[in-house]
Amino acid sequence: MLRVGLTGGLATGKSHVGAYLEQMGCRLLKADELGHKALLRGGAAFEAVGSHFGAGVLDDAGEIDRKTLGALVFADPEKLAALNSIIHPVVIGAEEEWFEGVSTVDSEGIAVVEAAILIETGSYKRFDRIILTVCTREQQIERAIKRDGLSREEVEARLMRQMSLAEKRKFADYVVDTSGDKLATQLETRRVYEELRRVKR
């Protein structure tokens, strides 16, 4: 089984590329969904996050409000680091369990984990290959505004705190440029998929 990490900056098209890879036959796991699940009441990170950040991050139903939590941590690098230190071990443990499951049923397959900060956390070292999605900075801003309902200032603030795409390229085995139309992105993704198949063989 080939372990592949799929990463990129904010709104660079990771999910689209992941979906295309899955359509082509890869196994796909979205690490962000594991993180969201861990924050739900009863989830592995709920108590620790609630204890660390206080009742202010809870909504009326007693659940962690991810938008409130995000606004809090993205404005403060120390708080973001604290949140990551709680969530990342939980997510990595779940990923490793998933890899074991995939290996059992598809030992010759390509298992892809889509995750936003694989490189920043050092998690990229756990993978055989890394795919990076990229686009222009202006496209990142426009896409994030449209997708997440953030202001331009909020998006730019988040981008300022992320590792640049130029820096991330140093760690990538493959780069998928998503700045073109959907067909161009699909063709770029197929090129990478064929490369992964050759590596697997």
Q: Which of these, 26, 34, 36, lies nearest to 5 by C-alpha position?
A: 26
Write down the pLDDT at residue 108: 93
Q: Tell me, what DSSP letter sits at residue 149?
A: -
Strands (DSSP E) contained in 57-153 are 110-114, 129-134
Q: Cβ of 151: how many Cβ atoms within 10 Å?
A: 10
Task: Name the pTM for this structure.
Answer: 0.91
Write down the pLDDT at residue 200: 83
CA distance 174 to 152: 29
- Could you give the count of Cα atoms lying within 13 Å of 77 in the half-sphere of its Cβ? 6
Q: How confident is the model at residue 111 (pLDDT cuts 50, 70, 90)?
A: very high
Q: How confident is the model at residue 33 (pLDDT cuts 50, 70, 90)?
A: very high
Whether 71 shows a pLDDT value over 90: the answer reads: no
| Mean pLDDT of the region 17-26 | 97
List of domains in the chain: 2-200 (3.40.50.300)
CA distance 134 to 14: 9
Strands (DSSP E) contained in the chain are 2-8, 27-30, 110-114, 129-134, 174-177
- Three-state SS at 178: coil
CA distance 28 to 42: 25
Write down the pLDDT at residue 193: 98
Q: How confident is the model at residue 138 (pLDDT cuts 50, 70, 90)?
A: very high
| Mean pLDDT of the region 137-153 | 94
Please provide the average confidence, as pLDDT, over all residues in the chain.
95
Write down the pLDDT at residue 28: 98
Q: How confident is the model at residue 40 (pLDDT cuts 50, 70, 90)?
A: very high
Q: How confident is the model at residue 155 (pLDDT cuts 50, 70, 90)?
A: very high
Order of strands across the sheet with 27-30?
Answer: 27-30, 110-114, 2-8, 129-134, 174-177
Whether 77 shows a pLDDT value over 90: the answer reads: no
Helix, strand, coil percentages (3-state) for the chain, rounded to 5, are 60, 15, 25
Q: How confident is the model at residue 123 (pLDDT cuts 50, 70, 90)?
A: very high
Whether 75 shows a pLDDT value over 90: the answer reads: no
CA-to-CA separations, 165 to 41, 70, 82, in angstroms, rounded: 34, 21, 24
Query: What six digits make up the tokens of 25?
Result: 């036959």
Q: Cβ of 155: how many Cβ atoms within 10 Å?
A: 21
